[in-house]
Amino acid sequence: MTAVLVIEDDDRIRLALQLALEEEGYAADGAATAEEGLRRQRESPADYVLVDLMLPGMNGFDCIRQLRRDDDVPVVVISARDDTHDIVAALEAGADDYVVKPVAIKELSARLRALRRRARTVAGPAPAQFFGDLEISAEAGEVRRSGQPVPVTRTEFRLLCELAEHAGRVLSRQQLLSRVWGYETGDERLVDVHVGRLRQKIEPDPANPRHLVTLRGLGYKLQR
Amino acid sequence: MTAVLVIEDDDRIRLALQLALEEEGYAADGAATAEEGLRRQRESPADYVLVDLMLPGMNGFDCIRQLRRDDDVPVVVISARDDTHDIVAALEAGADDYVVKPVAIKELSARLRALRRRARTVAGPAPAQFFGDLEISAEAGEVRRSGQPVPVTRTEFRLLCELAEHAGRVLSRQQLLSRVWGYETGDERLVDVHVGRLRQKIEPDPANPRHLVTLRGLGYKLQR
DNA sequence: CGGTTGGATGACGGTTCGGTGACAAAAAGC
DNA sequence: GCTTTTTGTCACCGAACCGTCATCCAACCG
- Taking only the tens place, the pLDDT of each residue in B67-99 is 887 777 899 999 999 999 999 999 988 899 999
Residue nearest to nucleotide C5 (CA to C1'): A217
Report the alpha-carbon distance of residue B19 to residue B197 in Å, rounded: 46
Q: Do A141 and B219 touch (CB under 8 A)?
A: yes
pLDDT at B154: 92
Residues of A within an 8 Å Cβ radius of B = 74, 84, 87-88, 91-92, 94-97, 104, 106-107, 109-111, 113-121, 123, 125-126, 139-141, 153-155, 157
Q: What is the pTM of this model?
A: 0.81
Question: Which DSSP state fits A147?
Answer: T
Largest CA distance in chain B: 59
The residue type found at A153 is: T
Contact present, B60 and B81 (Cβ < 8 Å): no
What's the pLDDT at A121? 63
- Tell me which residues of chain A have a pLDDT lower than 50: none
Q: Which nucleotides of D are covered by protein (CB under 7 A)?
A: 5-11, 16-22, 27-28
Give the residue whose CA sits closest to D28 at C1': A216
**What residues of chain B lie within 8 A of the CB of A94, using their CB?**
117
The reply to whether residue A107 touches residue B115, judged by beta carbons under 8 angstroms, is no
- Whether residue B102 has a cis bond before it, omega within 30° of 0: yes
Q: B-chain residues within 8 Å CB-CB of A154?
A: 216-218
> Which residues neighbour strand D (beta carbon < 7 Å)?
A 151, 153-156, 181, 186-187, 189-190, 193-194, 216; B 69, 151, 153-156, 181, 186-187, 189-190, 193-194, 197, 216-217
Which nucleotide is at minimal CA–C1' distance from A154? Answer: D17
Q: Answer yes or no: do B91 and A97 touch at CB < 8 A.
A: no
pLDDT in tens, A105-158: 999 999 999 998 887 666 677 889 999 999 999 999 999 999 999 999 999 999
Q: How distant is the Cα of A118 from the closest Cα of chain B, in angstroms?
A: 6
Residue B189, pLDDT score:
97
Q: What is the pLDDT of residue B125?
A: 47
Q: Which residue is nearest to nucleotide D19 (CA to C1')?
A: A190
Show contacts of A163-168: CB within 8 Å, 24+ apart.
A163/A212, A163/A220, A163/A221, A163/A222, A164/A129, A164/A131, A164/A136, A164/A222, A166/A221, A166/A222, A167/A129, A167/A131, A167/A221, A167/A222, A167/A223, A167/A224, A168/A221, A168/A222, A168/A223, A168/A224
Percent of chain A with pLDDT over 90: 85
Cα(B101)–Cα(A160) distance, rounded to whole angstroms? 53
CB contact under 8 A, B84 and A104: yes
**Per-residue pLDDT tens listing for chain B (224 residues):** 899 999 999 999 999 999 999 999 999 999 998 888 888 888 788 889 999 998 888 888 888 888 887 777 899 999 999 999 999 999 988 899 999 989 999 999 999 999 988 875 444 445 778 998 899 987 788 899 988 999 999 999 999 999 998 999 999 999 999 989 988 889 999 999 999 999 999 999 999 999 999 999 999 999 98
d(CA B149, CA B135): 9
Q: Which nucleotide shows the minimum CA-to-C1' distance to residue A217?
A: C6
CB-based contact B96 A88, cutoff 8 Å:
no
Task: Name the H helices within chain A.
Answer: 11-23, 34-43, 60-70, 84-93, 105-118, 154-165, 173-176, 189-202
From chain B, the residues in CB contact with A74 under 8 A are 118
The whole-number pLDDT of residue B121 equals 42
